[in-house]
Structure 1
Amino acid sequence: MILQQLQKKDVLIGYADATRYKYLGYIGRGGYGMVYSAIDTHTNEKVAIKLLKDVFRDVPRAIQFLREVKLLRLLKHQNIVEIKSILVPPCSDDFNEVSVVFELMDFNLYDVIRLDDNLTAENHRWLMFQILCAMKFMHEANVYHLDLKPDNILVNTDLLTKVCDLGLSRVAFREPSAVWRYKGYVVAEPYRAPEISGLNNSKYPYAVDIWSIGCIFAEILTRKQLFPRTSLVHQLNLITDLLGTPSADTISGISNDRARKYLREMRIKSPVPFAVKFPNSDPLALQLLQKLLAFDPKDRPTAEQALAHKYFRSLSNAQSKASQSQLIKKQEFAFERCKSVTAIRKLMYHEMLEHHHPQLLRNYISQVPVCYVKIYYDPGWIYIYII
């Protein structure tokens, strides 16, 4: 197994082009595998290698991995983590581990918030600016992260910031509200917008990420979670304790009967002034934070609107240099409807070759005989899987 090879021999072997990476040390464990640091001996650059185990144990797991590596290939931005390479296994038919080579970052934002008590107001501004730039880029491509939290934001010692872990992200090719067909557990609970818990069928999917960014911003300011939720009712109490009782119009738009009834019967609460909740904070920062944490998703700004806030006035030149995104093609994500682990493994192998060089993939496809092609029809879509 590649993990054992890595630990015992200090190099990655058995995968194409793997001997260029020399093992340095263990970094940590993620949700689906371990992360190690290594040296790229061709460039003398330090990298992070994520070893994903049992990738093809079931279809949802395999699709999540394929979704992330495909999105990271398509979304090239200075504030989104970059895949340097994906190590190609010797055989395309039976591999169950995937080794992804990322650029190496120093910390995640969770560590920075908990360990660094010397962050200045300007540091706060720069961190938020970069997170919003990443979201603006993603949202313009109709991609929604849906799992923003401090653990999924990487930071270097110079405060260069990059969003990572796009496995739960969704692309909206049809109407934006299509993302709401996915279950509400996709966002970690302390950063979960009220509407993602089933409170309403929002037509503003970007607002889920904006709420999460607001929670992260508050955590940067106070160094503790703003809404450490234990249940939907607990979350509603925490949110209304700070923001006050939602308006009658907002409550009437809630589709969750239990939540609507609970809010209607709740005692009237007045909002807490943010200057009281977050003392000694920049007034412009609190102005922006209040917009990000609007209870009603339609009242939250887009990432672009947030970046135009006066809070970021000093960074206007940096914003003008931001990358422009392009819409992602439907056929790139036809695999989302795939029901076969075998087919997803084949498509993952294709993606590995694509990451190295598109010509490698074209050469491989031209040399491999196609057993059969299965076509799935859906209005506006044709799904083709090579088995």
Structure 2
Amino acid sequence: MIQGTQITCTNGSYEIVGQIGRGSYGIVYKAISLSDNKIVAIKTPANKDNNYNRYSTQKKQKAIDKIRNEIKQLQKFGKQAEKNHIVPLLDWHYGADDHPPIMVMPLSEGTLSHYVRDTGEAHRFTCDEFLALIEQMLIALSFIHQKAFNVIHRDVKLNNFLLINKKVYLCDFGEGKEPKHDWTTSVAGTVIFGAPELFIPEKIESGDPKRRVTHKVDIYSVGLIIYNLIMFAGNYPKAQSKLYNLTDEDGGCRENAPESFQKVGGLEDHEKTSCIKYLSQLAQKNALPFPNEFVQAFMRFLEQLLCPIIDDRLDAPGSLKQLKRLKDIIHPQIIQFEVNCPETVCINTSYVMTINARYKGLPFISKWLTIQDKTHNNTIEITEIKKTDKNQYQVTLPGMAHEGRYQLSIIPFDPAYTKICQIQIHITPE
């Protein structure tokens, strides 16, 4: 389409401003809504390749079918799409003989691929930024995988997450599929971001290669995106290079493929070492309270996403639960704080109290707890803190010389989660 072209969809008309991107099967234009002057993005099927060679009739139809499939998937998600990090469908036209299908979407700031490539190694995520990106990707997949929609995206990659207001939104549902069962003969996805089972058949029946494709193929792809975010643009695990060498131009499997896709996938030892090195730098830069625990927990999480054995790989809800545990390591918090102690103590006698502290994340009570004598405005030295049960600690104070009002404060590494309890202690003669 040329600049100034006007097109009409179901809910309104738009004027093309210019082309902003293209892929194998679609072209994206910047456009303006003629009803409210809002800037939007419009996607139409491509009829030429990146070298402007015309597509065959079959390939043109495939491009049209992909756009129509994407419209169908996004319509199904409806108004819930945007809050679940799916790019919303603003308007559409299914197309006719003289009119290609058209999708209207919000204009993005680019893809996650652009963000990683443009910022490069000079950019270092904060831990909160890093985990927020991962969480948004997993929220999107958890949403489309749920029983109500039962959609497998099959082409999750950096280019298919759009950045809008510094948040990521999953797009390009052209390969989206609602599986009736786990087995398929079709091939879909991008090799460098695809799970092995998308390309390598697990068995052959009646001459047809059968691939076991479940919702977990999308989770494997998120693992590869995370690896790319850690190692920066253009870095992929060696397993993806192996997979690339085992597939032909159409993504099908070559004759020299292994008997099982489980022989391809996961991270090699030197790749794990590289990830650990970066994550350790990230933890050090952000002064995380438990750097070693965070790095170890994150690597376990990443390896569960990239597990080549489907049944052992995390699903989307399980991935979100594991991610929550990682966030709790960064932001440990006390969610319950109670003090049990005698109201009266003999003068100059050590004083023992019991603290019940239920927490999220890793506890560090000995560093968090302070006790102040509010009557005389001084801090009491703690003689000993001993854990006696899962959420219970015994705190011993030195001999008490006078009665008064005492304040116990638990101040975690994030002060927003501070808990305070006040007690009154009476002193009696020996």
Normalised by the shorter chain, which TM-score bucket? 0.5 to 0.7
The aligned runs of 1:307-318 (5 Å cut-off) are 307-309=320-322, 310-313=325-328
Q: How many angstroms does 1:51 deviate by?
A: 2.8
CA contact (8 A) 2:67 2:102 kept: no
The structure with higher relative contact order (CA 8 Å, sep 6+) is 1
Q: Which residue of 2 aligns with 1:170?
A: 177
Residue from 186, 205, 214 that aligns with 2:214: 205
Q: Residues 170, 146 of structure 1: CA spacing in aligned structure 2 closer, same or farther, 3 A cutoff?
A: same
Q: How many angstroms does 1:198 deviate by?
A: 1.9
Residue from 64, 68, 88 that aligns with 1:66: 68
Number of corresponding residues? 278
Identity %: 23
**If the length of structure 1 is used for normalisation, what is the TM-score?**
0.63
CA contact (8 A) 1:124 1:221 kept: no
Q: Which residue of 1 aligns with 2:156?
A: 148
CA contact (8 A) 1:29 1:35 kept: yes
- What is the SS of the residue equivalent to 1:170? coil
Residue from 45, 48, 67 that aligns with 1:52: 45
Q: Which residue of 2 aligns with 1:215?
A: 224
| Residue 229 of structure 2 is aligned to residue 227 of structure 1 | no
Q: How many angstroms does 1:207 deviate by?
A: 1.8
Q: Distance in 2 between matches of 1:128 and 1:306?
A: 10
As a proportion of its length, which structure holds more helix? 1
CA contact (8 A) 2:262 2:308 kept: no
| Residue 186 of structure 2 is aligned to residue 182 of structure 1 | yes
Q: Deviations over 1:145-184 (max 9, x none)?
A: 111110111112x421111111111101x32x14x2322x
Q: Residues 50, 234 of structure 1: CA spacing in aligned structure 2 closer, same or farther, 3 A cutoff?
A: closer
Q: Distance in 2 between matches of 1:263 and 1:305?
A: 21
Q: Residues 235, 311 of structure 1: CA spacing in aligned structure 2 closer, same or farther, 3 A cutoff?
A: farther
Q: How many angstroms does 1:226 deviate by?
A: 1.8
The aligned runs of 1:189-338 (5 Å cut-off) are 189-200=191-202, 205-224=214-233, 225-227=235-237, 229-232=240-243, 258-260=257-259, 271-272=269-270, 274-281=272-279, 282-283=294-295, 284-309=297-322, 310-313=325-328
Residue identity matched to 1:108: T
Max Rg structure: 2
CA contact (8 A) 2:92 2:102 kept: yes
Pairwise CA RMSD of aligned residues? 3.4
Q: Deviations over 1:296-342 (max 9, x none)?
A: 111111100000011244799xxxxxxxxxxxxxxxxxxxxxxxxxx
The aligned runs of 1:27-46 (5 Å cut-off) are 27-46=20-39
- What is the SS of the residue equivalent to 1:219? helix
| Residue 107 of structure 2 is aligned to residue 104 of structure 1 | yes
| Residue 128 of structure 2 is aligned to residue 122 of structure 1 | yes
Q: Deviations over 1:80-138 (max 9, x none)?
A: 1111111476xx5x224222211111110110111122432221111110110111111
The aligned runs of 1:77-88 (5 Å cut-off) are 77-78=81-82, 79-87=85-93
Q: Distance in 2 between matches of 1:46 and 1:118?
A: 31
Q: Which residue of 1 aligns with 2:17?
A: 24
CA contact (8 A) 1:127 1:159 kept: no
Q: Residues 23, 127 of structure 1: CA spacing in aligned structure 2 closer, same or farther, 3 A cutoff?
A: same
CA contact (8 A) 1:146 1:168 kept: yes
Q: Distance in 2 between matches of 1:34 and 1:273?
A: 36
Residue identity matched to 2:108: M
Q: Deviations over 1:183-214 (max 9, x none)?
A: 2xx12111121222225266561221111110
As a proportion of its length, which structure holds more strand? 2
Residue identity matched to 1:145: H
Q: Deviations over 1:338-365 (max 9, x none)?
A: xxxxxxxxxxxxxxxxxxxxxxxxxxxx
- Structure 2's unaligned 5+ residue stretches are 48-54, 204-210, 248-254, 280-293, 333-430
Q: Residues 275, 302 of structure 1: CA spacing in aligned structure 2 closer, same or farther, 3 A cutoff?
A: same
Q: Distance in 2 between matches of 1:292 and 1:109?
A: 19
**If the length of structure 2 is used for normalisation, what is the TM-score?**
0.57
